[in-house]
Structure 1
Amino acid sequence: MLVLFLSACSPENNSTKKDQVTDKASFKIEREEEIPTPLKQVILTLGSWRKGDVEQINFILSKFSEQYPHIVIKFDPTEQSEYNDVIEAQLESGTAPDLFYLRSFSHSRVLFEKGYLASLNELANIQETFPTEMLTAWSSSEGEVYAVPLMAVSHGIYYNASLFEKMNLAIPDTWEKLLNLASTLKESGITPFANATGDAWTINGLLLQNVIPSIIGGIDGRLAYYNGERCFDDDQMVASFQAVKDIAPYLSKNQKLLKYADSLQLFIQGKSPMWFGGSWDIPFFETQNPDFKWSVFAIPAPQGKDNYVTFHPDAGIGLNRSSAYMEEAKLFLQWMMTEEFSSLITQQLPGFFPMHKQVAKIENEHARLFLDFNDKYKTDIRFVWGKIRDGNPSAYQLSLQSSVDVINNLITPKQAAENLQTGLSSWYLPASRCRE
């Protein structure tokens, strides 16, 4: 018995028990390490100037959060007219959103140059996902991309298809035929166009910028002005302002007093059968559901000119360089390059088009008509949105005021072009040297 007792207390048996305990502890540790640590909940903010898209954007953002449950993105839009100033003030004070909409070209480029925006060149496949001309709208002169393209807009002429059918009117395929059509309508006691100048931006943005490309020769013509090979008061620029003047007799007599919303109602109520407008107007017209069929056609070029349609990069999303959640924000920006995101944009925001090389199928009939213009005609961006908008007075400011003044017969088309040349040559070197 003594032998058995000593044997049970021997070091060897103690070691065996110790090893068994150790093995169990080791096994427990291994099992605990297999349990993933929950990811920290992150809330990102997304700034925008589009307050009317809250429901649609929140739906899109919810689809992202389904894939990344630990990341919630709060959409926080502000007034469009105040947006540029608000974002810059927030960036200066350190209170800006993690992500925010960026307008194309000059204003966003200034923010990047001031160091407020992160470079996004490292995002996988960004160069392969978007056409170069779209990325250029949010790139520095050195090729640093600072926003992921979000959506572009197109332009055309909305028309009352029911009235056109009733009066047996053909869709005009030249500028001259458009003016003849307007004359026919006016002789019948109908105000042809619903547009007005109560909001100054509309004549510049909906009319002038969309007739310029066909008159000057699209991107090649635009670059000729940008490079100083042509002056901004040449015959083709005068002709562009003349096209604006051509429309003046066919607007409402009290158009000076009508705002953008008023002129939309003229079309919706059937009082004017045509409206120079943008693809972003589609949801409004569909919601209003007028009691007539309506459609859209491309703004026609003058006889003998190639027809161009303005397909303009409207908004990108940039990353605040001071964000506390850079990696999470980049996950969202990377997701923006997917086919899923492209499809969600076309479904939720008809009239706004993703800029991916491979565009998702568009279900909305009217949006599809706008996008079909890109296959039928050549395209370019708005003439005054490039580098000639960077200084003061900018080409945008000059063309905005001059287009309104031409419509209202305060200046001639020649004077409007001269104002553009004089204003730009005060700061834009190619304009000051174009006559050399």
Structure 2
Amino acid sequence: MKKSTLIGTMMATSVLAGAAAAQDVTLTIESWRNDDLAIWQDKIIPAFEASNPGIKVKFTPSAPAEYPAVLNAKLEAGSAGDLITCKPFDHSLGLYNAGRLADLTDLAAMSSFSDVAKSAWQTDDGAQTFCVPMASVIHGFIYNKDAFAELGVEIPETEAEFFAVLDTFKEDGNYIPMAMGTNDQWEAATMGYNNIGPNYWKGEEGRLALIKGEQKLTDEAWVAPFRQLAKWKSYLGDGFEAQTYPDSQNIFTLGRAAIYPAGSWEISGFNTLVDFEMGAFKPPVANAGDDCYISDHTDIALGLNAASEHSKEAKIFLDWMGTSEFTSLYANSLPGFFSLASAPVAMEDPLAQEFVSWRSDCKSSIRSTYQILSRGTPNLENETWNASVAVIKGEESPEDAGARLQTGLASWYEPQQN
């Protein structure tokens, strides 16, 4: 081959290679979940790139506590990534209203999710959806199977059975019946009131009625969970008033407590700490045969930066999130963070599978205070924290707690002022 021909061939090859490389698009994902970095790099991103040549993906998380400020600064500067990990409700809604997140209502992937699954990333009227749901956490009770077998008690299905189990452990004295403290406050509301509450206010039926002003926090459905919480005091062990969230985790994982009021996010951590077999049971219903409801709380989603220069490719990734390939990868890589897609995902972790199986038996709802009702002052979410603690300690009656919360909500929320 002549030298000139060889040089020409090499130049042509170089140009073609450069053109191919120029066609590659790199998408950047912003997130607060820095503990997920290895999962995205080793599992999720390689799976997507394998079936979508020409699109590369980078996962670039920030420290969780700094994420809102960092993200807002990047968006202001025009340096934010193409895909934005979305917190539930008002933070993401604020970004959408400010024009920072694109409208994804018509994205094909949205057909994979129910209205409840999308509710945390929609406008108040539900007309627009701006993030693709990724995962929820489910509430219930984790228990020590060895302790249950030792005392010969069965999984409780009704409230009477639940308290009978607690009484058995209290009388035996070898285990604290239930590991939960009130020092940090949020657990009493999150793993207490909003764990057992949906069975009383009938999940979404009651939650939406409260938003519409058709029910009040002084109604029996909203006071009754406080009545149950008031009975928990004698089963939480000595010194529960000063017991922190990490204290409760340690008490249970060390095998000192029989039951732990839980969120499914505990599964991965507990799996590495316990030397006994764990099980889980859903919040017991009032009477055998009653319909059951679970707190299946929307936790994390992914949206499109409205200023992205690669929206076409970003939407390909977002549509992929509605597929069984993504939902199975994500849910099984992070047991306890469950896919929000309508199609069921089989879980490899047995405890995670127990939690998610409740979806087929019970109706799902989200935490009662998270949508709309905590935008004013006093903040209903924070007020529910301290009310739950006060009721458990016996410092406030269930009725007084409900009345206080209702007065606070009605002071700024118009639908509750009639």
> What is aligned with 1:251?
236
Secondary structure of 1:38's counterpart equals helix
1:285 corresponds to which of 266, 270, 273: 270
1:108 corresponds to which of 67, 89, 92: 92
Equivalent runs, 1:24-39 vs 2, <5 Å: 37-39=20-22
Identity of aligned residues (%): 33
1:374 corresponds to which of 359, 365, 373: 359
Secondary structure of 1:388's counterpart equals coil
Letter of the 1:323 counterpart: S
Distance 2:163 2:74 in 1: 48
Distance 1:68 1:359 in 2: 25
2:287 corresponds to which of 299, 303, 306: 303
TM-score with structure 1 length normalisation? 0.85
Distance 1:152 1:421 in 2: 28
1:128 corresponds to which of 85, 101, 111: 111
Equivalent runs, 1:268-283 vs 2, <5 Å: 268-283=253-268
Select the structure of larger CA radius of gyration.
1
Q: State the shift of 1:369 in Å.
A: 0.7
Per-residue displacement from partner, 1:383-412 (whole Å, max 9, x unpaired)?
Answer: 112221333333212212221222233322
Q: State the shift of 1:70 in Å.
A: 3.8
Equivalent runs, 1:25-424 vs 2, <5 Å: 37-58=20-41, 59-123=43-107, 125-140=108-123, 141=125, 143-189=127-173, 190-288=175-273, 290-303=274-287, 305-424=290-409
Distance 2:49 2:242 in 1: 46
Q: State the shift of 1:33 in Å.
A: 9.2
> What is aligned with 2:7?
none
Structure 1 residues 35 and 95: alpha-carbon distance in aligned structure 2, compared to 1, 3 A threshold: closer
Structure 1 residues 96 and 243: alpha-carbon distance in aligned structure 2, compared to 1, 3 A threshold: farther
Are the counterparts in 2 of residues 119 and 144 from structure 1 also a CA contact under 8 Å? yes
Which ranges of structure 1 fall in alignment gaps of 5 or more residues? Answer: 1-28
Structure 1 residues 198 and 90: alpha-carbon distance in aligned structure 2, compared to 1, 3 A threshold: farther
Distance 1:97 1:195 in 2: 40
TM-score with structure 2 length normalisation? 0.89
> What is aligned with 1:3?
none
Distance 1:296 1:241 in 2: 23
Are the counterparts in 2 of residues 178 and 300 from structure 1 also a CA contact under 8 Å? yes
- Comparing 366-375 with 320-329, which one deviates more in the overlay? 320-329
Q: State the shift of 1:199 in Å.
A: 2.5
Distance 1:196 1:98 in 2: 41
Distance 2:114 2:277 in 1: 35
Letter of the 1:53 counterpart: D
Letter of the 1:169 counterpart: V
Q: State the shift of 1:165 in Å.
A: 0.8
Letter of the 2:302 counterpart: I
Are the counterparts in 2 of residues 232 and 431 from structure 1 also a CA contact under 8 Å? no
Secondary structure of 2:176's counterpart equals coil
Q: State the shift of 1:268 in Å.
A: 1.0
Structure 1 residues 259 and 48: alpha-carbon distance in aligned structure 2, compared to 1, 3 A threshold: farther
Structure 1 residues 200 and 97: alpha-carbon distance in aligned structure 2, compared to 1, 3 A threshold: farther
Structure 1 residues 116 and 258: alpha-carbon distance in aligned structure 2, compared to 1, 3 A threshold: same
Per-residue displacement from partner, 1:151-188 (whole Å, max 9, x unpaired)?
Answer: 11211111111111111011111122212221221122
Which ranges of structure 2 fall in alignment gaps of 5 or more residues? Answer: 1-11
> What is aligned with 1:12?
none
Letter of the 2:402 counterpart: A
Are the counterparts in 1 of residues 39 and 333 from structure 2 also a CA contact under 8 Å? yes
Q: State the shift of 1:285 in Å.
A: 1.6
Q: State the shift of 1:96 in Å.
A: 3.2
Which portions of structure 1, spanning 4 or more consecutive aligned residues, are displaced by more than 6 angstroms?
32-36
Letter of the 1:193 counterpart: M
Secondary structure of 1:385's counterpart equals coil
Aligned length: 403
Structure 1 residues 142 and 81: alpha-carbon distance in aligned structure 2, compared to 1, 3 A threshold: same
Letter of the 2:44 counterpart: I
Q: Give the CA RMSD over aligned residues.
A: 2.5
Distance 2:58 2:250 in 1: 33
